[in-house]
Amino acid sequence: MSQTPIKPEYKQPWRERLAPWFFVSPSLVLLLAIGLFPVIYTGYYSTFNWTMGFGTPSFAGFGNYVQALTSSDFGWSVLRTLILLAITLPIELVLGLVIAFALDSAHNVWLRRALQVCLVIPIAITPAVIGLLAQLMFNQQFGIINYLIGLIGIAPVDWLGGSVSAFATVVAVHIWEWTPFVALVLSASLSTVPTDIEEAVMLETDRWWPRFKSVILPYMWPGITAALVFQTAFTIKSFGMIYSIAQGGPGTSTMFAMLQIERTAFRGFNIGLASAESILMLIMSIVLARIYIRLFYTDKDD
Amino acid sequence: MRKNHRRLAIAGTALLGLMFSGSSLAWNLKEAAQPYKGVTINVVGLERPSYKAAQALTPEFEKETGIHVNWTTFPYESTLKAETLNFVSQSGQYDVVLSDVVWPVTFVDAGWVVPMKHFTDNPKLADPALDLKDFFPVWLASFTVNDKLYGLPFDSYAGLLFYNKKMLADAGFDGPPKTWDELYNYDKKLTNKDKGVYGYVLQSAHNETQTADAFARFLWPWGGRFLDIGQKKVMVDSPDSVAGIQFRRKLVKLMPSGIVSDDHPQVIQMLIQKKAAMVTEWSSFYTTLKQSPIGDDIGVAVEPKGPKKAASAFGGFAYMVSAQIPEKKQNASYLFIQWLTSKEMAKPLIEKGAVVARRSADTDPSIQADNPYLKPMVATWEHSTVPDWRPQLQCYPQFSNIVSDWGSRIEQKRLPVKSSLHDMADALQKYMDSSDCWAHANQPEKYISKYESKSAQ
């Protein structure tokens, strides 16, 4: 019985082993510099008591985290952010889906092109400018919104002066600002549904809902999950638009988490506490992202 | 012999006199700036008329001195952040820094700025015509910390009553209201909510405007105040303070409900569009109103008196020299500040729309004739304001956040005045006690007499 010759082990030269690292190193360094370093730096300062202008930093351990977690101002601002997320996310998802189907439709090319142009506008405008425009449009005295509803006989609404109405205004502007992004993500996701499968299903049934539920939706889950993850992060870190509209007011009705953190950092100059609050919000974003992935993400090949 | 001695003494005195007057006459900006020719200084400005005027005139300084001036302008809300980051990071990005009337204690306690005396004691730098006593005492006091002056005032405001003369006359009033009670009666007669016309509107947005404009304005004239620094006690819930804020609630009932979110531009627009007959605003808005379509109808007067005293809004800025830059740059920076805030520059600055705190220019009848806001502004600074209109605390920004949060909620009519002010006082007291803020409080009022006596000299 002949013995199978043992193939001598191939020893990769060090140059070949290093080559992949060499190619990815520029992006890796860039990623570490602009992505990871600020997070580590923020985490580091979150363990210090440091108010800018009030002496040097001193080690505080988890003291800033305890202070943040027991602060009613920060707690309420996080709750407001979660309410904003709970209201805007489903609406943006449904509207985004409707627009994605309209974009996918081959029936009306003109409508599709018009939609594509309209979708780019909110994405192209700086959030602070969106906020300033909204502040003018929703002004009780001079705003175009009150002028337009006045044309159909509705009395002027105090959009920015009431707690609920100011919150509702932020919700409306947020939906206008972010629905196009969701629509584009879902549109890309919709394009992954293979045409042959769609045609085959058309032979089975011409009813829309069973086709959507059984064939299109499974292909769209990764896109929907991505939209959920992105939108959650964007909503949690919303600042420019909200600040420009009402600066957190009236009272504290639009004081969302990022406004509260900015206030702690650059009005109170309490860098330690603001860093701890930022890390807590980052953890919240990651936890929510993991929940979305666990609940909704399925690989279409499964 | 004795005669000769006398002649010698007279000749010596004359010679000394000539030497001193000669050195005084000899000082000129061009020569003083000679060692700094080619130096570039970075100046912080705001997006407001005074800084536009200053920037327009800066080439004159550059031409005379050979010092280059770089302006960086910010919206007010970002200025403290930008300057603090500059100092904390020791970037040396800004040489001539701008201080709001509530910031000097922050800059001084952290050692970020140089006392003016460092420069004014240097005969090579100090212009003999600087004439500090020409600045209004209240302004010098506002930028004095630990008995040292740290900045020269620029872009200085007083709260004034701007009104539409025609609207008041049509309603049967032959002049502006003199007291807040009178203003309330005017307001009742002028307000017609169905037509969207209001007698008086008050900028109240949830930021510094709420604290400085909408809240403080109803404390001082009623005898209220923010703090009793000696007793380390917050006073916003004292009976006088409560009376003032209760009066504000009466006025707010006559305003549009959205006023709680309106800032300076919105109330100025309401006045311009004849939707409001009266506003209490900073003197710097005169130029904007004068150039508006209702320019000829605009009247301006001192703010109404309260039941306890006349106390109008007080706010503005000063230029200071950064302590974190080389001496050469510090000296060049001082020369720029001295030039910009000089008596000589006051008139051209006012003509270009700036507001300055120079008595010689602000009381000049020929300048007053073209700028009717000057008379009530001077009257306010001389008789009816307080330099700690907002307290000078190192932790002021966070203090102001708390005032703004509670002030805005109370103005929304969501909360009862008395108990809410009590809660606000508790929140402020807790913050002041826990942040060691009492130890870093400045009381500019005590320095006024020091500068008044100088003015009298």
- Given B335, B362, B384, the domain boundary residue is B384
ipTM: 0.80
Residues ≥6 apart with Cβ < 8 Å to B343: B129, B131, B134, B358, B360, B361
Q: What is the pTM of this model?
A: 0.85
Any domain includes B54: yes
Any domain includes B5: no
Region B252-268: mean pLDDT is 93
- pLDDT for B20 equals 46
Cα separation values, B335 from B112, B130, B244, B290, B339, Å: 19, 11, 44, 33, 6
φ, ψ for residue B223, nearest 5 deg: 90, 5
Q: Print burial letters for B17-34: b (CB count within 10 Å at least 16), e (below 16).
A: eeeeeeeeeeeebeebbe
For residues B275 and B398, state if they share a domain.
yes
Region B235-251: mean pLDDT is 97
Residue B21 has pLDDT above 50, yes or no: no
- Judge: A246–B409 Cβ closer than 8 Å, yes or no: no
Q: Which residue has the higher pLDDT, B159 or A212?
A: B159
Q: Please, what is the end-to-end C-alpha distance for chain B in angstroms? A: 40
For residues B293 and B332, state if they share a domain.
no
CB B125 within 8 Å of CB B411: no
Show the domains of chain A with their CATH numbers: 72-296 (1.10.3720.10)
- pLDDT for B456 equals 43
- pLDDT for A141 equals 85
Q: Which residues of B touch A (CB under 8 A)?
A: 80-81, 84-85, 87-88, 106, 109-110, 112, 196, 205-207, 210, 256-262, 266, 269-270, 273, 275, 394-395, 397-398, 400-401, 404-405, 408-409, 411-412, 414
Rounded distance between C-alpha atoms, residue A293 and residue B378, angstroms? 67
Residue B286, domain extent: 158-314+392-441
Nearest CA distance, A272 vs chain B (angstrom): 14
φ, ψ for residue B30, nearest 5 deg: -60, -45
String of DSSP letters for chain A = -PPPPPPPPP---HHHHHHHHHHHHHHHHHHIIIIIHHHHHHHHHTTEE-BTTSS--EE-TTHHHHHHHH-HHHHHHHHHHHHHHHHHHHHHHHHHHHHHHHHH-SS-HHHHHHHHHHHHHHHHS-HHHHHHHHHHHT-TTT-HHHHHHHHTTPPPP-TTTSHHHHHHHHHHHHHHHHHHHHHHHHHHHHTTS-HHHHHHHHHH---HHHHIIIIIHHHHHHHHHHHHHHHHHHHHT--HHHHHHHTT-STTTT--HHHHHHHHHHTS-BHHHHHHHHHHHHHHHHHHHHHHHHHH---TT-
- pLDDT for A4 equals 65
Nearest CA distance, A89 vs chain B (angstrom): 27
Any domain includes B10: no
Q: Which residue has the higher pLDDT, B15 or A222?
A: A222
Any domain includes B127: yes
Nearest partner of A242 among A156, A194, A174, A158, judged by Cα: A174
For residues B295 and B415, state if they share a domain.
yes
Any domain includes B455: no
Q: Dump pLDDT digits (tens) for B22-72.
A: 444 589 999 999 999 999 999 999 999 999 999 999 999 999 999 999 999
For residues B350 and B415, state if they share a domain.
no
Any domain includes B359: yes
For residues B297 and B435, state if they share a domain.
yes
For residues B245 and B330, state if they share a domain.
no
**Band of the pLDDT at B6, cuts 50, 70, 90?**
low
Contacts of B412 in chain A (CB under 8 A): 161-163, 250-251
- For each of chain A's 302 residues, which pLDDT tens digit applies? 456 666 667 777 888 888 888 899 999 999 888 889 999 999 999 999 998 877 789 999 999 999 999 999 999 999 999 999 999 999 999 999 999 998 887 677 787 888 888 888 998 999 999 999 999 999 988 899 999 999 999 988 999 989 999 999 999 999 999 999 999 999 999 988 898 888 888 888 888 888 888 889 999 999 999 999 999 999 999 999 999 998 898 989 999 999 999 999 998 899 999 999 999 999 999 999 999 999 987 655 55
Region B398-411: mean pLDDT is 94
Please report how many Cα atoms fall inside a 13 Å half-sphere around the Cα of residue B57, on the Cβ side.
23
Any domain includes B20: no
Rounded distance between C-alpha atoms, residue A23 and residue A27, angstroms? 8
Give the H or E element holding residue B264: helix B264-272
Residue B265 has pLDDT above 70, yes or no: yes
**Band of the pLDDT at B457, cuts 50, 70, 90?**
very low
- Judge: A249–B397 Cβ closer than 8 Å, yes or no: no
- pLDDT for B22 equals 43
φ, ψ for residue B318, nearest 5 deg: -145, 155
CB A59 within 8 Å of CB A279: no
Residue B78 sits in a domain of what CATH number?
3.40.190.10
For residues B163 and B286, state if they share a domain.
yes
For residues B153 and B164, state if they share a domain.
no
- pLDDT for A292 equals 94
For residues B127 and B201, state if they share a domain.
no
Cβ neighbours, 10 Å, residue B306: 25
Residue B2 has pLDDT above 70, yes or no: no
Rounded distance between C-alpha atoms, residue B166 and residue B274, angstroms? 10
- pLDDT for B405 equals 94
Region B383-387: mean pLDDT is 91
Interface A–B counts its CB contacts (< 8 A) at 93
Nearest CA distance, B87 vs chain A (angstrom): 9
For residues B91 and B162, state if they share a domain.
no
Please give the tally of structural domains in chain B.
2
Any domain includes B14: no
Give the H or E element holding residue B162: strand B152-164
- Judge: B206–A159 Cβ closer than 8 Å, yes or no: no
Q: Dump pLDDT digits (tens) for B93-132.
A: 999 999 999 999 999 999 999 999 999 999 999 999 999 9
Q: Which residues of A touch B (CB under 8 A)?
A: 52-54, 139-142, 158-163, 166, 246-252, 255, 263, 266-270
3-state secondary structure of B430: helix
For residues B321 and B196, state if they share a domain.
no
Residue B245 has which token pair? 């804020």
- Judge: B261–A249 Cβ closer than 8 Å, yes or no: yes
Q: For all residues of chain A together, what is the average pLDDT?
A: 90
Closest Cβ opposite residue B81 in set A162, A252, A266: A266
- Judge: A141–B401 Cβ closer than 8 Å, yes or no: no
For residues B270 and B178, state if they share a domain.
yes
Q: What chain A residue is nearest to B271 in terms of C-alpha separation?
A: A141
Cα separation values, B422 from A37, B224, B428, Å: 45, 14, 10
Q: What chain B residue is nearest to A267 in terms of C-alpha separation?
A: B397
Closest Cβ opposite residue A52 in set B84, B196, B270: B84
Rounded distance between C-alpha atoms, residue A61 and residue A272, angstroms? 10
Q: Dump pLDDT digits (tens) for B63-89.
A: 999 999 999 999 998 999 999 999 999
Residue B57 has which token pair? 């005139």
Closest Cβ opposite residue A142 in set B261, B269, B400: B269
